[in-house]
Amino acid sequence: MNTDYLKEASRIFKLLSNETRLKMLVNLEDKAISVNELSALLDIEQSAVSHQLSILKKHQLVDTNRIGKSIYYRLDDPHILDIVNEAVQHSSHVIRGKKHGE
C-alpha cells in the first residue's frame, strides 16, 4: 500500500496542531495582520510570533507583503480553514455524542 500521501497529510496536521498557529490562521481569515498586531492580539511575544509565522510561511500557508515599516501576513490558501472547520465540527459532534464514559 502506498502511503506517501499520509506523510503529506501528517505534515499539514502538524502545522495545524499548534494552538498559536491555529489562532493566527483563523485571525487571518478575512484580513492581513502585521507581526506586532498578532503579537498583541494573541498576547505572545514578538519573537515567538515571528518564529511561528515563518513556519507557516515556509509551508505556504501564509504569505507576506510590506506596508510602511510593518510586514503584513495573510492567508495564502483560505481552503486550509475548511480543514479547521471539519475538525471543529468533529469535536462538537463528539462532545454532543458523549460516546463513552461520563
Residue 70 or 87 having the CB closest to a second copy:
87
Residue 45 or 82 having the CB closest to DNA:
45
Residue 69 or 96 having the CB closest to DNA:
69
Is 44 an interacting residue with respect to DNA (CB under 7 A)? yes
Query: Cβ 23 to a second copy, closest distance in Å?
Result: 6
Taking the C-alpha atoms of residue 83 and residue 67, their distance in angstroms, rounded to an integer, is 30
Taking the C-alpha atoms of residue 33 and residue 23, their distance in angstroms, rounded to an integer, is 12
| Cell numbers linked to 83 | 480543514
Please work out, in degrees rounded to the nearest 5, the angle formed at the alpha carbon of residue 20 by the alpha carbons of 19 and 26.
85
Contact 27, 38 (CB under 8 A): yes
Amino acid letter for position 83: I
Closest CA to 67 of 39, 93, 31, 27: 31
Rule CB under 8 A: choose which of 18, 46, 54, 65 binds a second copy.
18
Residues 22-61 that bind a second copy (CB under 8 A): 22-23, 26, 60
- The residue ranges that bind a second copy (CB under 8 A) are 3, 5-14, 16-19, 22-23, 26, 60, 63, 76-77, 79-80, 82-84, 86-88, 90-95, 97, 99-100
